[in-house]
Structure 1
Amino acid sequence: MARKAGFVGGLTPVLITLWVGALWMTGITASVLFQTILDRSLAGLVAGKLFTIVSYIGIGSGIWLLIQRLASDGFSAFKQSLFWIVFVMWVLVLVGEFGIQPLLAQLKASALPNDVMQSVFASRFKTWHGIASIAYLVECLLGLWLVIKSS
């Protein structure tokens, strides 16, 4: 992304840094939570809150970055790899936050009063959690590519 002087140009690298840094830090933190907290439900609850926060950071950052690119470059933005990296990352955030996470929450709620992993929903939960994890990893790797390409 071309650098511009002033607030608009200065906000772009800040948002990329915030979004990608939050992605990586939350992924690392979630791993530490599950290694440190013996109560897996509590670790999952805290990790879930962190993933929600990073999702909203991504939604806001993605919207800004996409609009900024379109405003700056018009339709030629659609020919830029940086635009498509941000777009795919943004779609992954939306799918994760508004598609997969509600499904996981519903499976947990359906398992009550038992833990979802001790219920008939365990297999489906593991499958969707795996899909969410892969999508998150792809988002992190695209974020890394975004940082490298935009510098």
Structure 2
Amino acid sequence: MLTWRLGLLVAALWAGSLWTIGYVVAPTLFLALHDNVLAGTIVGVLLRSQAWLAIACAALLLLLLQVAKGSTPPAQRRSCTLIIVAMLACALVIYLGLQPVMAQLKIDAGTAGLAGTPQGRTFGMLHGVSQLFYLAESGLAGWLLLKLR
């Protein structure tokens, strides 16, 4: 029982960090700073931290699910495991797949920036895909919390 409650706490940390950074902090930075480059840089750093937190939370949750093997129904453990793996996959696609390409596009653009360039359109498309994965991870986080409670 204690293992399951600890898992709920870890899942709440993961979900809360996703929701706070993605839906409160990032929009607030873009509104308050009026400098999209600086806001984007800060949000990028926060999202990298979020990705590492996601990896740590996923590893700990998967470990806790193994420890709770005898005291938890197999169907519940299985569904929680699938949700955790899907959330981790979303985080890894963003962090290892999309963010490096987006960062390289910004570097390649240099001081001229991405606005109005083909690279800018590519960046915008990748940013949209990244937002979809982030939304999926956020939604799955809510589902995981409901499954663990």
The answer, yes or no, to whether TM exceeds 0.5 is yes
Residue deviations 1:59-104 (CA, integer Å, cap 9, x gap): 1000111232234339x57972111111100111111111111010
2:47 pairs, out of 48, 51, 54, with: 51
Counterparts of 1:15-34 in structure 2, within 5 Å, are: 15-27=10-22, 28-34=24-30
Length-normalised TM-score, structure 1: 0.87
Length-normalised TM-score, structure 2: 0.88
Deviation at 1:15, TM superposition (A): 1.1
* Runs of 4+, deviation exceeding 6 Å: none
For 1:118 and 1:108, locate their aligned partners in 2 and report how far apart those are by CA, in whole Å. 13
Counterparts of 1:67-146 in structure 2, within 5 Å, are: 67-73=63-69, 76=74, 80-146=78-144
For 2:131 and 2:83, locate their aligned partners in 1 and report how far apart those are by CA, in whole Å. 18
| Counterpart amino acid of residue 31 in structure 1 | P
| Counterpart amino acid of residue 83 in structure 2 | I
Counterpart contact for 1:77–1:83, Cα < 8 Å: no
Q: Does residue 13 in structure 1 map to residue 8 in structure 2?
A: yes
Pair 77,93 (structure 1): closer, same or farther in 2 beyond 3 Å: farther
Instruction: Provide the secondary structure at the position in 2 that maps to 1:69.
Output: helix
Q: Gaps spanning 5+ residues in structure 1: where?
A: none
Residue deviations 1:22-45 (CA, integer Å, cap 9, x gap): 000001210111111111000101
1:40 pairs, out of 28, 36, 43, with: 36
Instruction: Provide the secondary structure at the position in 2 that maps to 1:87.
Output: helix
RMSD: 1.9
Aligned length: 145
For 2:124 and 2:76, locate their aligned partners in 1 and report how far apart those are by CA, in whole Å. 36
Instruction: Provide the secondary structure at the position in 1 that maps to 2:140.
Output: helix
For 1:62 and 1:131, locate their aligned partners in 2 and report how far apart those are by CA, in whole Å. 22
| Bigger RCO (CA 8 Å, 6+ sep) | 2
Give the percent of matched residue pairs that are identical in Structure 1 and Structure 2.
30
Instruction: Provide the secondary structure at the position in 1 that maps to 2:115.
Output: helix
Q: Gaps spanning 5+ residues in structure 2: where?
A: none
